[in-house]
Amino acid sequence: MTTEVLLMADVKDLGEEGDIVTVADGYARNFLFPRKKGAAVSDVTKRQLGKIQEKREIERAAQMEAARKQAEKLSGVSCTIPVKTDDEDKMYGSVAAKDILEALKVQGVELEKNSLQLEHPIKELGVFDIAVKLDKEIEATIKVWVVEE
């Protein structure tokens, strides 16, 4: 037996909030309904979902605006990280996201560790553009100067 369910939240491998999906009775009864991720399809649940989505859109717009403002502030930010080198200008160690975050913190810029898009630690001297992901759609770029100590 199957049941039509209105998803009240995103469910991995099933659908997004607001989708009407057909699932097994047991899945709906034992997983979706108790966790408030789904509800039986009716006019009441559709109105309820509409209110929830309106509220989330307002919150999302506020988050996007805050991320845009932060991106504007970050557009002119750069930091300098002094490192020890040998006679041939080869670095001892590398510069990781943690080091960049500490250098930015000294300047008063607070970022989360996972927001820096640094694939590999920096292992050479120079100037690097590092992407900072502030939101799903909003990115900023900061300059990191790795110089000899």
Query: Average pLDDT in the 104-130 region?
Result: 88
Q: For residues 53 and 121, state if they share a domain.
A: no
Q: For residues 107 and 39, state if they share a domain.
A: no
Q: For residues 56 and 77, state if they share a domain.
A: no
Task: Indicate yes or no: pTM above 0.75.
Answer: no
Question: Can you tell me which residue has the tokens 């590398």?
Answer: 94
Helix (H, G, I), strand (E, B) or coil at 110: coil
Q: For residues 97 and 61, state if they share a domain.
A: no
pLDDT at 34: 94
Q: Which domain holds residue 24?
A: 2-67
Pairing outcome for strands 126-133 and 20-24: unpaired
Dihedral in degrees, nearest 10, Cα atoms 11, 16, 19, 24:
-20
pLDDT at 55: 85
Query: pLDDT tens digits, residue range 46-76?
Result: 888 788 888 888 988 999 998 898 888 888 8
Query: pLDDT tens digits, residue range 99-114?
Result: 999 998 888 888 888 8
Neighbour count for residue 142 (Cβ, 10 Å): 21
Q: What's the rounded Cα separation, in Å, for the pair 57 and 65?
A: 12
User: Is the pLDDT score of 42 beyond 90?
Assistant: no
Kindly report the CATH number assigned to the domain that includes residue 88.
Answer: 3.10.430.100
Domain total for the chain? 2
Q: For residues 76 and 141, state if they share a domain.
A: yes
